[in-house]
């Protein structure tokens, strides 16, 4: 794959995002990657079969059209499912022989081969219809730092609970931006919980939950599906933001209530807090928010370095010649700020490069190899509550005033500013913003946004104030 391919790909993604909108884009395309091209075929991959079939049936033509707008020579898209094994991102080479196969690979933790312990757990879990568990994602390989201490402790607590223990928080709801370790934590919990053998932990992606339910409906044994779900002790659902469709959501709500009410544990991960899961009904959202809600913050440099160190050490077990100097690790930890996936990607590239060229890993090589992973830090996820808090403080009113129906000038303007900021700094829709501002209509929000947009053009004082607020919120 050439760097021009990558550049085209970046433009294709932007085009796609502009066409389908941010929400759809991040739901379906955020994890799509370019694997290369071959004549008239572009090769793309996604991490799950479900994403593949969904994109194929709903967006195949659109994706191709976006490519053709960039590169008219392409006539076909080949979409594959990435395997969980170490991949190389190196140009057009066939599956490299050093890529370990998942089934046969040794899995060592602290020098012990865990294949024999892992296999029965995985088999039992698959038997329950769970989503595949990645043997690398365990508590042993999870690095704890400031941003994830609480989430880690909570997950561990759940995994260690025994039958009959009082459940401390239900559901446990973990949220964060992409690549910050939610799936890693949830799968760790599933491994650890199931290895105690006393309880059954089922890990499902929301996609799998939907799939299972839809398949059960088709086969007309939805009841059996429900029963099966209700026989487990801990239900873990990953990527809840993908749960779509009225009947699946209703089913999810049922299952959630049934499990919680019968004293069984539910653990959920999503890319946003419960209150922002717009497509879910209010009562489901509040049930989700009723347990423990924990956010995983972005990975600090220190944590990134620790993760890299442990990854490099793990890779060395399989590839003894793979030595990554500390300076290189420190460079990557500093430069690649985005998320855990990019850290993994960066190391995989170094590994591929050193294997294919048999050259030692140097700082220069690292700089070259990871150049395109170095990007400006993602803007922080801004929450509507934060906007309300910061605006209220700035204008010396209370947050309740902003949400109230009071229409005095000292409240109206700050409220409009807050709505304007909510529209410009978050991906929330107008109706959603209205709902979060004391149940106002979306036309009221639209009016506020237009009003402020007009004013900032003429009123430099207000424009500066707003800039300041934005900066406070994004730092
Ligand atoms: P999410 O589900 O939040 O999008 P993942 O759990 O898939 O993120 O994490 C992305 C990558 O980063 C994975 O390879 C994961 O192992 C790694 N990662 C993230 N946080 C940590 C951590 N604290 N310790 C070790 N690896 C981590
Ligand atoms: Mg995940």
Measuring CA to CA, which residue among 51, 62, 56 is closest to residue 26?
Answer: 51
Q: Pocket residues for ligand 1 (CB within 6 Å)?
A: 137, 141-143, 148, 176, 178-184, 307, 340-341, 344
Atom of ligand 1 nearest to the CA of 181: 6
Residue 170, helix vs strand vs coil: coil
Q: Which of 30, 85, 137, 340 to mutate to test the pocket of ligand 1 (most atoms within 8 A of CB)?
A: 340
pTM of the model: 0.63
Structure tokens at 290: 């009723």
Ligand 1 centre to CA of 137 (Å) is 8
> Ligand 1 centroid vs 184 CA: distance in angstroms?
5
Cα dihedral 275, 341, 252, 250, rounded to 10, equals: 60
Residues near 140 by Cβ (< 8 Å), separated by ≥ 6?
109, 110
Which of 445, 424, 426, 447 has its CA nearest to residue 434? 445
Ligand 2 centroid from CA 358, angstroms: 33
Q: What is the DSSP letter of 299?
A: P
- The burial class, CB within 10 Å (0-12 / 13-18 / 19+), for 22 is exposed
Among the bound ligands, name the one nearest to the CA of residue 182. Answer: 1
Atom of ligand 1 nearest to the CA of 141: 25
CA of 182 to the centre of ligand 1 (A): 7
**Ligand 1 closest atom vs CA 303:** 23
- Cα–ligand 2 centroid distance for 14 (angstroms): 22
Report CA(338)–ligand 1 centroid distance (Å).
Answer: 12
Atom of ligand 1 nearest to the CA of 239: 2
Per-residue confidence in pLDDT tens, the chain, 475 aa: 667 788 889 899 989 888 887 767 877 788 888 988 888 999 998 877 767 877 887 888 889 999 998 888 889 999 988 764 333 222 222 333 333 333 334 444 444 455 556 777 887 787 777 888 888 899 999 999 999 999 999 999 999 887 777 788 899 999 999 899 999 999 999 999 888 767 889 999 998 888 887 777 777 777 777 777 778 899 999 999 988 888 888 888 888 888 888 888 999 999 999 988 888 888 889 899 999 999 999 898 999 999 999 999 988 888 888 899 999 999 999 888 778 888 988 999 899 888 888 888 999 889 888 887 776 555 567 899 999 999 999 999 999 999 999 999 899 999 999 999 999 998 888 999 999 999 999 999 999 999 999 999 999 899 999 999 998 888 7
């Amino acid at each position: 794959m050439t760097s021009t391919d990558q550049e085209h790909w970046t433009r294709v993604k932007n085009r796609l995002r502009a066409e389908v909108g941010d929400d759809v884009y991040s739901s379906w395309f955020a994890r799509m990657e370019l694997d290369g091209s071959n004549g008239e075929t572009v090769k793309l991959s996604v991490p799950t079969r479900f994403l593949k079939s969904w994109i194929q049936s709903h967006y195949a033509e659109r994706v191709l059209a976006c490519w053709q707008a960039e590169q008219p020579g392409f006539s076909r898209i080949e979409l594959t499912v990435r395997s969980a094994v170490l991949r190389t991102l190196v140009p057009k080479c066939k599956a490299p022989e050093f890529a370990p196969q998942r089934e046969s690979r040794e899995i060592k933790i602290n020098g012990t081969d865990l294949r024999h312990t892992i296999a029965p757990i995985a088999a039992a879990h698959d038997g329950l219809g769970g989503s595949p568990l990645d043997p690398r994602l365990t508590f042993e390989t999870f690095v704890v730092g400031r941003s994830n201490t609480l989430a880690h402790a909570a997950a561990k607590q759940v995994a260690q609970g025994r039958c009959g223990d009082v459940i401390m928080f239900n559901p446990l709801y973990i949220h964060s931006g992409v690549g910050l370790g939610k799936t890693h934590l949830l799968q760790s919990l599933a491994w650890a919980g199931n290895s105690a053998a006393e309880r059954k932990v089922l890990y499902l992606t929301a996609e799998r939950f939907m799939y299972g339910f839809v398949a059960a409906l088709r086969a007309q044994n939805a009841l059996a599906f429900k029963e099966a779900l209700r026989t487990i002790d801990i239900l873990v659902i990953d990527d809840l933001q993908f749960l779509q469709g009225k009947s699946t959501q209703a089913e999810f709500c049922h299952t959630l209530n049934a499990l919680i009410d019968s004293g069984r544990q539910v653990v959920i991960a999503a890319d946003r807090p419960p209150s922002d899961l717009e497509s879910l009904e209010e009562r489901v959202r509040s049930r989700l928010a009723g347990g423990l809600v924990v956010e995983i913050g972005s990975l600090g440099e220190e944590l990134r370095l620790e993760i890299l160190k442990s990854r490099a050490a793990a890779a060395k077990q399989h590839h003894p010649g793979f030595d990554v100097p500390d300076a290189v690790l420190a460079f990557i930890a500093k430069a690649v700020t985005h998320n855990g996936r990019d850290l993994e990607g960066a190391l995989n590239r170094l590994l591929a490069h050193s294997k294919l060229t048999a050259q030692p890993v140097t700082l220069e090589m690292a700089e070259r190899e990871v150049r395109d992973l170095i990007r400006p830090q993602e803007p922080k996820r801004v929450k509507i509550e934060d906007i309300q808090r910061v605006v209220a403080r700035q204008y010396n009113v209370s947050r309740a005033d902003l949400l109230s129906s009071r229409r005095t000038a000292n409240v109206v303007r700050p409220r409009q500013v807050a709505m304007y900021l909510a529209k410009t700094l978050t991906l929330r829709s107008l109706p959603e913003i209205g709902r979060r501002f004391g149940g106002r209509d979306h036309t009221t929000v639209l009016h506020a946004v237009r009003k402020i947009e007009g004013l900032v053009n003429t009123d430099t004082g207000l424009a500066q104030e707003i800039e300041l607020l934005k900066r406070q919120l994004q730092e």
